[in-house]
A and B are shown apart, each in its own frame.
Chain A
Amino acid sequence: MNAAAAFFYLFAGVTVASAFMVVASRNPVHSVLFLILAFVNAAGLFLLMGAEFLAMILVVVYVGAVAVLFLFVVMMLDVDFAQLRQGFLNYLPLGALLAIVFFIELALVLTTRFVDPKAFKAAAPAAPKPDMLVTNTEALGRVLYTDYVFFFQVSGLVLLVAMIGAIVLTLRHKAGVKRQDIAEQVARTKATAMEVKKVPSRQGV
């Protein structure tokens, strides 16, 4: 067993175990933390496959943004998960059915692969030969900013619209809220900020 295989089993084992704990743990905050652990290990699996860009994106987007968002929601919304779980057993048959269907599909794919490798090859298009001199990130960058620059820029505009829309529809300037005004802070002088009082002894102010 070489090092790559050892790491594979390490990452895969931790991923499966933490995925199970996401569902099984009682405290929702723990669930989210286990989810983060699963994401990080999945990123490790991607690294082993040589997909370093996907691994980084998984860490940056899912761990950095999505999971943190989950954490905020779980902490702020005060959802009573114990109550949500009460009907859990009622849904068990449906869940089991879905799991069985999914399992059969996976089994079909895998058996086709092992039983009749030719059919599998015919169905899938030939993968491009990896050019070892170019990393995934560089390969993406080469087309993203050249061939696909139009789509890239328009996507940027779509995100701009989303941002403007969110601000227009939700931002409210409330009166009477204390805000930091840096100009005013800087403009303060000793004369406006301080007052020197002579305090007579034994009498107080």
Chain B
Amino acid sequence: MKTKTASTRRRFFWQAGAAALSAPLAASGAHATQRDAEDTEALKARIATLEDVNAIRELHQTYTRLINAGAREEAASLFADPREAQIDASIRNLSADRFGEQDVIEIAADRKTAAARIHCTVELEIAIGPSCTLVEMARVQGEGFLKQSERRVIESSYVKQDGVWKIARSVYR
């Protein structure tokens, strides 16, 4: 997965770290000491950001695994407020680990919130309806659903609670 920035503020944060890391090392004296300190801070900030990105990626993967396992309640527990978890009942499977160039995770400068846009394939089971005898029979047989795959984008926002990233909101576009 690649991390990108979209907002000026986040770009600044992200690029500040990158710029710091890419600064020339040929410096000397007080300037060198000051620059070393700045480099260290920038490096720390970048590592912290990468840790946040990794944490959110793991959170997303956990969410995906739980959805695929049909563990909706457990998936809801990954939300900051599980009552706000609106998980599309028709989704049976999310493709995990198919992250590409277009996927974005943005960490806010204060590292308390984040946002992500992750492309994925969702396998849907859409209940056939309205009900009729055949649909009722199919249900008894464990079927009666229209199965299809769609390319979607999951747009999520995240919030850090007690040092742990939680999903604030997640929408499939």
A complexed with B: no
Interface residues of A (CB under 8 A from B): none
